[in-house]
Amino acid sequence: MFFESFSSLIEMNGHGKYVWLCYGIFAAIIIYNFVSPKLTRKQVLKDIERQARREQQ
Give the residues lining the site for another protein (CB under 8 A): 1-3, 9, 12-16, 18-19, 21-23, 25-26, 29-30, 32-34, 36-38, 40-41, 44-45, 47-49, 51-52, 56
**Smallest separation, CB 56 to another protein (Å):** 7
Rg, the chain, Cα only: 22
**Smallest separation, CB 2 to another protein (Å):** 6
**Smallest separation, CB 3 to another protein (Å):** 7
Encoded amino acid at 21, one letter: L
Beta-strand ranges (E) seen in 1-57 are: none
C-alpha–C-alpha distance, residues 32 and 44, integer Å: 18
